[in-house]
Amino acid sequence: MNGLALAALISAAPGFTPRLPPAPPAAPAPVYAAKSRSLLSEGALAARLARDRIVYVGERHDQPASHAVEAEVVRLLSRREPNLVVGLEMVDQSRQQVLDDYVSGAMSEADFAAFWRKEWGFPYSLYEPVLALCRARRIRLVALNLPQSVAHQIYVGGLSSLTSAQRRWLPKVVNPITDKAYKDAVLAELGGHGAMPPQVVDRMMQAMAAWNETMGQAVVDQVNAGKKVVVLAGAGHVMLDGGILDSVRSRSAASQALVLPYPQDGSARSRADLLKKLRQPATAALADYFWLLY
């Protein structure tokens, strides 16, 4: 399920690889800053993002342009920040050693690509620009997520059904999703799967909360260790100043900013059309910065 990816709890099969078109060249700036309603160059964006301890890029998993933007954001910040790490929604915390081996060169790229296909499902080629950059510059990759089997168990039986071994992957406190705008967006996404019994919706919301809270705690752990963090995650986990951002906010005063590749579906539109849409309050509320794709 694009963005929120909750459909993976129901239907995704291990090793599933969607058929996607090859990645196009990275789209150039400008970037639209929502608060100032102004256009920024890449350099100006980098200067602003340098002020924040945590920078998110909200991807759409199947869109090559999203991943090109991720690579550019990491590239820009790695020139300024020696303590940069990149957090990944795509890998669960039990697999951290694999990421360490890849960045250090102890694992071949071919072996890592095979791991990626099995672990995440979406083609390695989509993520290769940003992952190869981290390997080349020895930027640590950090696994943020909880194991999919744990998320699936929450979907099946709720948080209360977890065993002690499963519960250890989650933070001590798992706050429910309470922000109305973000909650409504999640529920709207769930509505795309047809009518579901209330108890099923409740368990899926619990799973989403656990997902976000686990990643939020992992991000805060990196901040507390003195790192600047770039988080790569589906837009559904970070949009509307909610999700992981809200989870981090409950645990830390670290400053945060969200960059959203726009439009998320990767469709070609004129800059004028994109700016017209972004000047509408409902759209501007989605992120701090919008990297325009046109």
- pTM of structure: 0.88
What length is written for the chain? 294
The pLDDT score that the predictor gives to residue 24 is 44
Examine residue 150 and state whether it is found in any structural domain, yes or no: no
Examine residue 250 and state whether it is found in any structural domain, yes or no: yes
Number of domains in the chain: 1
Examine residue 3 and state whether it is found in any structural domain, yes or no: no
The pLDDT score that the predictor gives to residue 100 is 98
89 contacts 291 by C-beta, under 8 angstroms: no
The pLDDT score that the predictor gives to residue 269 is 86
The pLDDT score that the predictor gives to residue 6 is 42
32, β-bridge pairs:
39, 290
The pLDDT score that the predictor gives to residue 26 is 47
Mark 256-269 as b/e (b = at least 16 C-beta within 10 Å): bbbbbbbbbebeeb
| Mean pLDDT of successive 10-residue stretches along the chain, which has 294 residues | 39 34 50 95 94 97 94 95 96 97 97 95 95 97 96 94 96 94 87 72 93 98 98 96 96 98 87 94 96 90
214 contacts 144 by C-beta, under 8 angstroms: yes
Range of the domain at 272: 28-145+211-292
The pLDDT score that the predictor gives to residue 266 is 78
Nearest-angstrom CA–CA distance, 257 and 48: 9
- Beta strand pairing call for 54-59 and 256-262: parallel
Examine residue 121 and state whether it is found in any structural domain, yes or no: yes
Nearest-angstrom CA–CA distance, 13 and 253: 38
Examine residue 183 and state whether it is found in any structural domain, yes or no: no
CATH number at residue 90: 3.40.50.11550
The pLDDT score that the predictor gives to residue 193 is 56
The pLDDT score that the predictor gives to residue 5 is 44
Examine residue 154 and state whether it is found in any structural domain, yes or no: no
Examine residue 201 and state whether it is found in any structural domain, yes or no: no
The pLDDT score that the predictor gives to residue 139 is 98
Nearest-angstrom CA–CA distance, 27 and 45: 15
- Beta strand pairing call for 38-40 and 31-33: antiparallel
